[in-house]
Amino acid sequence: MIQGAIAFVLGVVILQQQADLPPGWLVWLLPLMLPLALRYPKYAFAPMLLSGFIWAAWCAHADLEARLPESLAGQPLRVEGVIDALPEVTPGRIRFTLMAETVTRQGRAVPFNGRLRLSWYRTRVQPGAGQRWRLRVKLKPPHGFANPGGFDYEGWLLRNGIVATGHVLDGESNRRLADAGFGAPLARGRELLREAITARLDEGPGRALLLALTVGDRSALGQPQWQVLRATGTNHLVAISGLHIGIVAGLLFWIARRAWSRSARLCLWLPAPKAAALVALCAATLYAGLAGFSLPTQRALCMLALALGGLLLNRGPALGRTLALALLLVTLGAPAAVLSAGFWLSFGAVAAILYGVLGRLARPRPLAGLARVQGYVALAIAPLLLLWGLEVSLLAPLVNLVAVPLFSLLLVPLSLLAVALLLLCPPLGTPLLQLAAAALEAGYSLLDWLAGLPVPMLAPPAGPPLLWLAALAGVALLAAPRGVPGKAAAGLLVLVPLLWRAEPIDPGAFRLTLLDVGQGLSAVLQTRSHTLVYDTGPRFSARFDAGRAVVIPFLRHAGVAAPDRVILSNGDSDHGGGFRSLNARLAVGSLWSGEPQAYSQFHAGPCLDGMRWEWDGVRFEVLHPPADGSWRGNNASCVLLIEGRGRRLLLGGDLEARAEQRLLRAHPEALTGVDLALIPHHGSLSSSTPAWVRRLAPRHALVSSGFLNRYGFPRAEVVARWRAVGAEVFDTARSGAILYHSEWERPRRYRCRHGRYWQRQGVCD
């Protein structure tokens, strides 16, 4: 059983690493594979592995076929459906998911439906969970940034069954309809409960934490709160997941068993352990429902149902088999779940507890046992966190030793009891709700103080996944009983990823990465021992910017501790919007800008014509703007020429026609013989004049633009102009990050070389 489950999951994992899907007809081999596994259980590994691979491939084909056709992208559509989750309310925007049941275009039905992720900007309407709406929208197929070390938003959309994203168009046709449909009562109940809690509590960390722990709504937690939770390694405590569901089920099991045991008649009808198991399972299901049956709660509920089901069926507590069966059922129901860090962290934590605790001869005291369990979990999940590009808090093991019992045994039960009383008797529930919020705020204050201690975070060093598998093997050996062969080498295996170093860049050579930041610009240029960041991308909202989401993860992935210099080409937010986050997290060496006054709070210096320097044999020269101070806006963009190993690269920001003419007059020789050029202003018609394009005539031209952006960048006329002089044009909107090394003949597209099947649709054909 365990071997077959592991083989099936391994097959699913192998499929999710593929760049292209195998043919869908392979699903007809499943009726052959499964009987083989059942008929020859000793040799079940191979057929179960193939079954997992084929099953995941068939599900992946279905997921991709359900996506919005690109022919409908950007077209005004009318959709009708039910809001199936709690909306996220932020200043100026409401974001929600709508299960679209009917879609029409110009009055004609469109053969498309599914789960949509929509944003409604600057509206006074307050759509709620469980409500049915008719909306006029514009949609895009699932799409996200594709960068080395970055978050895979497209994979997240795939795991959550979202087939399109978009926004609501203003108009009187947007209206709420009569509520109906399966699933609406649960979503509406969560919405009403959130409103009741919000109305009785003042805004603050206490209310935000209580909402997260009771109805699974974490949208009220801001970046400062998340930073505290990450720094202390306690962000798992504010998610309704396996830990909290297990604690709730355990408490209800203990209470129900003791209460049931007091009645002999009840015990004759149904043994107390079985009655308690039923109560615990119902309570856990209700709690998971409060979280909207999110994927983490589904995993936890599955494991719990199998464990309690064994008790109800008089089966022994085969915990290893229970875990394996839960793993099999979760991947069978949602093969894309293996793409989630939470999947591996939740199952990994349970496996670590079972591996480290069960079968030990010695029975430690309760406190020592708790410390041991926490130590095993911390050891097991640290390599998993680093493998997924997440930071590891060195405070986490000690903080969780106190925080886990505090939250799970006191604060979570208190919060749930307060909510239950609020529903049954509001006059009694309100004071208890306020007490729970105050207790949560006090707990957060303690975490905030601990986060301020000078304890560094362990950032994920770059390295291939095989290194992290070696580290996991080392962790397994460390937790193994005494006498296990190879235990002495465990420490070396754990340290293997930290010893890895990326291949160095030769003196005189350079590496450029034009990052995929949407409708904005950010490029990172590396020499042997120096790093330059040219622009930091846009700021999308108070909580989200390209510096935090793209630039910092890429620098960590590349093994860069901090950039030596940052150049913000001009003062526009799509070029410098991510700098605040970058500056807050990393020690930036120096800051220059074509419009330094826009960044005066960061003590930016001017970027002026004539500035030159050399790093590791690579020469840098600023060609624009001049020192007369007469240039503003796009035409003040800092223009940078880089030369190394016989290659010449030109970065021009948002340069427009007037500045291009000035450069053609002032630096005609410097603009001749360029190998690679950045197309100015994202491919706008205001730039790339014919004279400019003819003078540069590069072999390769790169453009940074947003996928299906509203400006239509890069404009077709501009792309044709560059191609007419023999340039090969690359666009981040389709290619993802664009990588170029001075030793290469042509740039490389990240989506084509490293993308998975859900990221490559129509890109590398």
The answer, yes or no, to whether residue 755 has pLDDT greater than 80, is yes
Looking at residue 368, its pLDDT comes to 61
567 domain-assigned = yes
714: cis peptide before it, omega within 30°?
Answer: yes
764 domain-assigned = no
Q: For residue range 695-714, what is the model confidence (pLDDT) as tens digits?
A: 999 999 999 999 989 899 99
What pairing do the DSSP bridges indicate for beta strands 647-651 and 676-678?
Answer: parallel
- Who's near 758: CB < 8 A, 6+ residues apart? 60, 63, 64, 142, 154, 155, 158
Distance from C-alpha of 253 to C-alpha of 165, rounded to nearest angstrom: 42
Q: Tokens 């042997």 appear where?
A: 528
Q: For residue range 554-597, what is the model confidence (pLDDT) as tens digits?
A: 998 888 989 999 999 999 999 999 999 999 989 899 999 999 99
The answer, yes or no, to whether residue 427 has pLDDT greater than 70, is yes
Beta carbons of 500 and 534 less than 8 angstroms apart? no
Beta carbons of 385 and 393 less than 8 angstroms apart? no
- Who's near 392: CB < 8 A, 6+ residues apart? 233, 382, 385, 386, 457, 458, 460
| Residues 44 and 78 placed together within one structural domain of the fold | no
Q: How confident is the model at residue 5 (pLDDT cuts 50, 70, 90)?
A: confident
Q: How confident is the model at residue 366 (pLDDT cuts 50, 70, 90)?
A: low
Q: Which of 101, 240, 298 is nearest to 182 (CA)?
A: 101
| Residues 263 and 137 placed together within one structural domain of the fold | no
| Residues 394 and 543 placed together within one structural domain of the fold | no
The answer, yes or no, to whether residue 361 has pLDDT greater than 60, is no
Q: Within 13 A of 319's CA, how many CA atoms are on the CB side?
A: 10
- Who's near 474: CB < 8 A, 6+ residues apart? 489, 490, 491, 492, 493, 494, 495, 496
Q: Tokens 């740039």 appear where?
A: 747
334 domain-assigned = yes
345 domain-assigned = yes
Q: How confident is the model at residue 359 (pLDDT cuts 50, 70, 90)?
A: low
For residue 171 the two structure tokens come to 């108009």
Determine the average pLDDT of the residues in 294-315: 78
| Residues 614 and 530 placed together within one structural domain of the fold | yes
What pairing do the DSSP bridges indicate for beta strands 523-526 and 700-703?
Answer: unpaired
- Who's near 199: CB < 8 A, 6+ residues apart? none
Q: Within 13 A of 730's CA, how many CA atoms are on the CB side?
A: 27
| Residues 454 and 469 placed together within one structural domain of the fold | no
The whole domain housing 157 covers 74-182
Q: Which of 478, 496, 517, 494 is nearest to 735 (CA)?
A: 517
| Domain tally, the chain | 5
Determine the average pLDDT of the residues in 42-60: 90
Higher pLDDT, 762 or 165: 165
**Which among 301-310, 396-405, 475-484, 617-626 has the top mean pLDDT?**
617-626
198 domain-assigned = no
Determine the average pLDDT of the residues in 479-504: 71
Distance from C-alpha of 557 to C-alpha of 146, rounded to nearest angstrom: 13
| Residues 35 and 125 placed together within one structural domain of the fold | no
Q: How confident is the model at residue 133 (pLDDT cuts 50, 70, 90)?
A: very high
Beta carbons of 371 and 356 less than 8 angstroms apart? no
Q: For residue range 95-123, what is the model confidence (pLDDT) as tens digits?
A: 999 999 999 998 899 999 999 999 999 88
> Average pLDDT over the chain, rounded to whole?
87
CA-based R_g, the chain, Å: 28
Burial classification of residue 685, based on how many CB atoms lie within 10 Å of its CB (0-12 exposed, 13-18 middle, 19 or more buried): middle
The answer, yes or no, to whether residue 512 has pLDDT greater than 60, is yes
Q: Is 224 helix (H, G, I), strand (E, B) or coil?
A: helix
Distance from C-alpha of 597 to C-alpha of 468, rounded to nearest angstrom: 45
For residue 315 the two structure tokens come to 């089966």
CATH code of the domain covering residue 138: 2.40.50.140
| Residues 39 and 80 placed together within one structural domain of the fold | no
CATH code of the domain covering residue 598: 3.60.15.10
Which of 11, 45, 65 represents a domain boundary (last residue)?
65
Determine the average pLDDT of the residues in 158-176: 92
The answer, yes or no, to whether residue 252 has pLDDT greater than 90, is no
655 domain-assigned = yes
The answer, yes or no, to whether residue 484 has pLDDT greater than 90, is no
Dihedral sign (CA 293, 299, 300, 304): positive
Percent of the chain with pLDDT over 70: 93
The answer, yes or no, to whether residue 328 has pLDDT greater than 70, is yes
| Residues 256 and 161 placed together within one structural domain of the fold | no
Higher pLDDT, 218 or 616: 616
Q: For residue range 66-78, what is the model confidence (pLDDT) as tens digits?
A: 999 988 999 999 9
534 domain-assigned = yes
Higher pLDDT, 616 or 303: 616
DSSP secondary structure code for residue 141 in this structure? -
Distance from C-alpha of 291 to C-alpha of 419, rounded to nearest angstrom: 14
The β-bridge partners of 89 are 94
| Residues 119 and 56 placed together within one structural domain of the fold | no
| Residues 482 and 422 placed together within one structural domain of the fold | no
| Residues 54 and 137 placed together within one structural domain of the fold | no
Alpha helices in 216-363 (DSSP H): 223-232, 242-261, 264-269, 272-290, 295-312, 319-333, 341-357
| Residues 490 and 576 placed together within one structural domain of the fold | no
Beta carbons of 440 and 210 less than 8 angstroms apart? yes
Higher pLDDT, 397 or 355: 397
Cα 743–Cα 747–Cα 751 angle in degrees, nearest 5: 135
The answer, yes or no, to whether residue 28 has pLDDT greater than 90, is no
Phi, psi of 121 (to 5 degrees): -95, 145
Go through the chain and tell me how many residues it has: 765
